[in-house]
C-alpha cells in the first residue's frame, strides 16, 4: 500500500515537472512581403497604421477586417503597451512600412479562456497585417519601463515621484517633497482616467508635460 502511494506521488511529481518543461506557446511570424529598402523598423512605443484581416484557425472564418468592417479605413495601434492583444505586441516588432506579416497567435496571447465577440474561448487566431505608416508615439516605451520600477505595467504615485525627483536633480533643480507631492497629484488628476490610483501603460500614452 505504502509502495503504491509512493509510486502515485512520484508519477504526479513527474507530471508536474514535465508540464513545467513545456515551453509556453509563442507567436508564429511569417513575412509575406517586405520592401527592398527599409528606412525604419517598428519599436515599442511607436504608432503603427495598419490594415488587417483576422481569422479563426479552427475553421478559417474571418472575424474582422479593416477593409470590410472599418469603412475600408486602416487603424492606428501603439506597439508595446498592450493596446491590443499580447500577440500583436510580440509579433509586430522590427516591421517596415510596406511589409506584410502573417501572425499565428495562440489563445494565451490572444483572448484566452474568455474569448471575445465572434471569437470563441481558447481560439488560435491568424492575422494578415499590412503596415502602412510608422509615427513616433507621444511617449517612448523605454521611458515607461524606466519609471515602472516593479514591472507591473502601471505607475504608482511613488514611482512617478521617484522619477520626477531624478529628472529635477539631473537638471540641477531643487524641489522639496511638498512640491513633488503637489506635482504628482496634478499629474494623476490629469492622467489617471479610471481613478484607480495608477497610470496604466495606455494612459501613459496621453502626453503630460512633466513626464
Q: What would the pLDDT profile of 151-168 be if each residue is shown by its tens digit?
A: 888 899 998 888 877 776
Cell numbers of 108, please? Answer: 494565451
> What single-letter DSSP state applies at residue 117?
T
Enumerate domains of the chain plus CATH numbers. 28-136 (3.10.50.40), 141-205 (1.10.238.10)
Q: What is the pLDDT of residues 8-56, one digit of tens each?
A: 434 343 343 344 445 567 999 999 999 999 999 998 778 889 999 999 9
Which stretch of DSSP H or E encloses residue 204? Answer: helix 201-204
On whether the pTM is more than 0.85, the answer is no
DSSP 131-164: EEEEE--SS-HHHHHHH-TT-SSEE-HHHHHHHH
Between CA 191 and CA 208 the distance in angstroms is 8
Amino acid at each position: 500500500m505504502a509502495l503504491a502511494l509512493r509510486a502515485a506521488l512520484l508519477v504526479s511529481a513527474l507530471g508536474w515537472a514535465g508540464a513545467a518543461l513545456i515551453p509556453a506557446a509563442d507567436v508564429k511570424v511569417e513575412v509575406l512581403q517586405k520592401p527592398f529598402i527599409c528606412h525604419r523598423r517598428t519599436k515599442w512605443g511607436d504608432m503603427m497604421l495598419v490594415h488587417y484581416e483576422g481569422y479563426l484557425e479552427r475553421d478559417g472564418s474571418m472575424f474582422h477586417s479593416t477593409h470590410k468592417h472599418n469603412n475600408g479605413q486602416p487603424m492606428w495601434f501603439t506597439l508595446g503597451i498592450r493596446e491590443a492583444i499580447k500577440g500583436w505586441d510580440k509579433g509586430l516588432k522590427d516591421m517596415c512600412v510596406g511589409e506584410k506579416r502573417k501572425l499565428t497567435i495562440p489563445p494565451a496571447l490572444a483572448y484566452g479562456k474568455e474569448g471575445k465577440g465572434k471569437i470563441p474561448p481558447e481560439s488560435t487566431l491568424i492575422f494578415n497585417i499590412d503596415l502602412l505608416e510608422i509615427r513616433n508615439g507621444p511617449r517612448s516605451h523605454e521611458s515607461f519601463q524606466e519609471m515602472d520600477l516593479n514591472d507591473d505595467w502601471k505607475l504608482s504615485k511613488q514611482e512617478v515621484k521617484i522619477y520626477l525627483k531624478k529628472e529635477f536633480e539631473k537638471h540641477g533643480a531643487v524641489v522639496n517633497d511638498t512640491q513633488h507631492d503637489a506635482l504628482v497629484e496634478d499629474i494623476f488628476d490629469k492622467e489617471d482616467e479610471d481613478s484607480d490610483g495608477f497610470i496604466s501603460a495606455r494612459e501613459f500614452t496621453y502626453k503630460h508635460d512633466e513626464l
